[in-house]
Amino acid sequence: MQFGFFDDAAREYVITTPDTPMPWLNYLGNSAFFSLLSHRAGGYCFHTDARLRRLTRFRYNDIPADSNGRYLFVNDGGDVWSPSFAPVGATLDSYECRHGLGYTRITGTRGGVEVATLFLVPLDDPAELHQVTVTNHSDAVKELTLFSYLEFCLWDALDDQTNYQRNLSLAEVEVEGSTIYHTTEYRERRNHLAFYSVNCPIAGFDTDRDTFVGRWRPLAQAEVPHSGAPRNSLVSGWYPIGSHAITLRLEPGESRDLVFILGYAENPPEAKFVAPGVVRKDPARALLARYQTVAQVDAAMAALRGYWDSLLDGFQLRSADPLLDRSVNTWNPYQCMTTFNLSRSASGFETGIGRGMGFRDSNQDLLGIVWMLPERSRQRILDLAATQFPDGSAYHQYQPLTKRGNHALGSGFNDDPLWLIVGVCHYLKETGDWSILDEQVPFDNDPALAKPLLDHLIASYQYVVTNLGPHGLPLIGRADWNDCLNLNCFSDLPGESFQTTANRGDGRVAESVFIAGLFCYALPDLIAVLRNRPAGAGTDELALAAELEQALAAMTAAVDVAGWDGGWFRRAWDAFGEPVGSAANAEGQLYIEPQGMCVMAGLGVSDGRARRALDAVEARLASEHGIALLAPAYTSYHLELGEISSYPPGYKENGGIFCHNNPWVIIAETIAGSPERAFDYYRRITPAYREAISEVHGQEPYVYSQMIAGPEAPRHGQAKNSWLTGTAAWAYHAVTSWLLGVRPGLDGLVICPRMPSSAGDYEVTRRYRGATYHIRVIGSGTSAAGRLTVDGQPVDGEVVPVAAPGEVIEVVWSALRSPKSSVSQE
């Protein structure tokens, strides 16, 4: 069952009913100002930091869900309704929500009146624009009053949930013409404010929630819109809102446009006021002046479209499968942008309060974004590396406002350092920007401890090899990629953190096979980087490369001895020296992560173990909804394993389909020679292919979710935690680089198609280091070996050399023994 459809030409997902299984969100904003916007106009917006600079209030765990947003009440001769359905909930004659790239348009009709609202955040301004078009489709004159409504909350969002004794005495506003300035906390330590305005004269306003809504009434029945008259209330403490009242008289067939602006402005700290108690408004007024007309909003919208078109032009697929095309060309990269911008901080499942930019998360997010945003990726890498410690370990997260490491969480997640190598090597392959390695980057955010970025990568390597356990495998620390496998934290107190309450010995026994696999995956690239620097490798680099090769051989041997269980790769060794993820265990015998990662690293590929491990995955973990993280799921709590066993079987890391690591198996299957299976796994988790079962899946059919309930859960197939997940970048990497087989390399674009033959021939247009490559793939899946031509000339191997910026290169790959290879080639 579907609740909408894809409009591929418009690059929109069209939701046709307000009654979706869950709030279906879009994200607006590109770099500093972000909005979460549901199909019912719910959600909130913030500048840079969703906790400290949140403009509007979000209500957690609310009934019904998604109960606060930027709303309209239409009073049509006493009939009150909302065009986004919420908050009034009056039946609509028609409803449609179109989520597009950085904008959303919600249209509702009732009683012959259509109200369409285009929501967007312009490329370069910290504001939400709401362009409202009201049309009278009836044959009578309509006298309407429109009431806008949103709840301000520009103070600490955590405090907002916990410190009423303070917050309920803070609220202040100034109203000037059609603009409401929310100045709460401005008198003291803030020099920024929110404002809400409309581009026309108003009949009145309200800024006090209780006055607007009325005592003991739900928002749906708010007094002011039902009475039809604004009360010009000025908030003083309690709950500040912004509401404009606008009266409209529309002839039959007539339309009117209104532009609402919800903005954010900063003033110089020393010039916050123009007179005692009077807030400086010039920056806000300057922003307002930029969006007073429909033409100005149209221009902002055109700029936004142009921006997305030019980004997405960088990789466009034309295949026989429209679901694949829409995933690859539009929605997967779109989600990659969101995960890059927000890491795991603010979504329907992340509160925006607790989590900053994750070190491992943001490094992995680079896999989905460097091709689109090389400059911003460069800056992100430098920001991340600056939160590394001199010993190579790293703060697990940094705070978006200060870019400083989060002390409360600290370090000790022992996979973290290696993801920096993965992120930087990927950046180098995409951009060829070797200069980044020479950038001076602080350790521990201390400029006095700055070293070239390359030294940070070496520190990452050293951290792992100086922290090996009894089997020569890396110590796991607080956790590795799997935050919930906590082998050094024996927690039996409710409320205690599973990750940070390390209390088991000195942590020098429990080891991770996964980190070993990641080490073997990351190191070959770092070795290649050392050997291939354009300036030439000096003796230091060559000596280092040799050292790394030895370490790689030693780690490979350690995995062979202590990481192989007989039928698959083990997961870990616990603090008692017992194996985890082994046939010897009663539960949790087989884990997905080391199967994917070790095979991606090439371990066991030449001797058949990779195949056996992947066959075990297929037999024991794969389901129609994706591949479970482990099986059998833990049925009781294990003190020695931690959070993973705290979840009921089939949820989250305890045997849920944790989508993030499905692409590792997909890539592994392309490496181990099974493209059919790889593409089959891809389709099982990719939202466009799950759209038809939206009533089961539940979450948005245009973005990946972190988890789909696993085979052992009662709600098998139901997704949770959409949007902010490493699945976006890894799925993108798996499908573009490995299945379609067009991937960046240090010395050129690698063409190595591994799509199954059933998918047919396809074409890719790929921007790479400033040149454009038109790539035709003929007969993928019929043979792994292919013949490559570049501008008609045969090329040995699989690398298309780097072309000069601006050039357009024609590439043809055709399978060597393909039945279709008779297809003529230019």
Q: CB of 181 within 8 A of CB of 174? A: yes
Which residue number has the CB closest to ligand BGC? 483
Residues 634-653 that bind ligand NOJ (CB under 6 A): 653
Q: CB of 727 within 8 A of CB of 662? A: yes
Our finding on whether 710 is near ligand NOJ (CB under 6 A) is no
Q: Which amino acid is at 471?
A: H
Our finding on whether 652 is near ligand BGC (CB under 6 A) is yes
Of these, 49, 174, 321, 361, which contacts ligand NOJ (CB under 6 A)? 361
- Per-residue binding string, ligand BGC, 463-502, x by CB under 6 A, is --------------------xx--------------x---
Q: Within a 10 A sphere around the Cβ of 796, how many other Cβ atoms?
A: 7
- Binding residues for ligand BGC, rule CB under 6 A, total 6
- Per-residue binding string, ligand NOJ, 326-345, x by CB under 6 A, is ------------------x-
- Binder of residue 361, out of ligand NOJ, ligand BGC, none (CB less than 5 to 8 A by kind): ligand NOJ
Active-site annotation, residues: 483
Q: CB of 516 within 8 A of CB of 563? A: yes
Q: Which is nearer to ligand NOJ, 484 or 742 (CB)?
A: 484
Q: CB of 85 within 8 A of CB of 118? A: no
Token pair recorded at residue 390: 């001199």
Residue for token pair 């392959």 = 429
Judged by CB under 6 A, which stretch of 477-485, 494-502, 541-549, 552-560 contacts ligand NOJ?
Answer: 477-485
Helix (H) and strand (E) counts in the chain: 21, 43
Q: How far apart are alpha carbons 195 and 125 in whole angstroms?
A: 13
List 144's β-bridge partners, or say none: 76, 248
Which residues lie closer than 8 Å to 769 by C-beta, 6 or more apart? 430, 431, 432, 802, 803, 805
Of these, 360, 478, 571, 677, which contacts ligand NOJ (CB under 6 A)? 360
Q: Which is nearer to ligand BGC, 358 or 604 (CB)?
A: 358
Of these, 23, 358, 741, 781, which contacts ligand NOJ (CB under 6 A)? 358
Judged by CB under 6 A, which stretch of 119-127, 475-483, 493-501, 743-751 contacts ligand NOJ?
Answer: 475-483
- Binder of residue 147, out of ligand BGC, ligand NOJ, none (CB less than 5 to 8 A by kind): none
- Output the smallest distance, CB 341 to ligand BGC, in A: 18
- Output the smallest distance, CB 623 to ligand NOJ, in A: 19
Q: Which is nearer to ligand BGC, 222 or 580 (CB)?
A: 580
Nearest to 754 by CA among 768, 737, 729: 737
Token pair recorded at residue 369: 């974004």
Q: Which is nearer to ligand BGC, 333 or 400 (CB)?
A: 400
Q: Which amino acid is at 716?
A: H
Which residue number has the CB closest to ligand NOJ? 483
Nearest to 383 by CA among 397, 393, 369, 370: 397
Our finding on whether 628 is near ligand BGC (CB under 6 A) is no
Nearest to 417 by CA among 352, 339, 371, 477: 477
Of these, 319, 482, 699, 736, which contacts ligand NOJ (CB under 6 A)? 482
Q: CB of 409 within 8 A of CB of 510? A: no
Q: Which is nearer to ligand BGC, 431 or 486 (CB)?
A: 486
- Output the smallest distance, CB 442 to ligand NOJ, in A: 23
Residue for token pair 């927000």 = 342
Q: Within a 10 A sphere around the Cβ of 9, how many other Cβ atoms?
A: 6
Which residues lie closer than 8 Å to 739 by C-beta, 6 or more apart? 666, 670, 675, 678, 679, 682, 753, 754, 755
- Binder of residue 482, out of ligand BGC, ligand NOJ, none (CB less than 5 to 8 A by kind): ligand NOJ
Which residues lie closer than 8 Å to 27 by C-beta, 6 or more apart? 34, 35, 36, 37, 102, 338, 341, 342, 723
Our finding on whether 416 is near ligand NOJ (CB under 6 A) is no
- Output the smallest distance, CB 456 to ligand NOJ, in A: 20
Interacting residues with ligand BGC (CB under 6 A): 483-484, 499, 643, 652-653
Interacting residues with ligand NOJ (CB under 6 A): 344, 358, 360-361, 481-484, 653
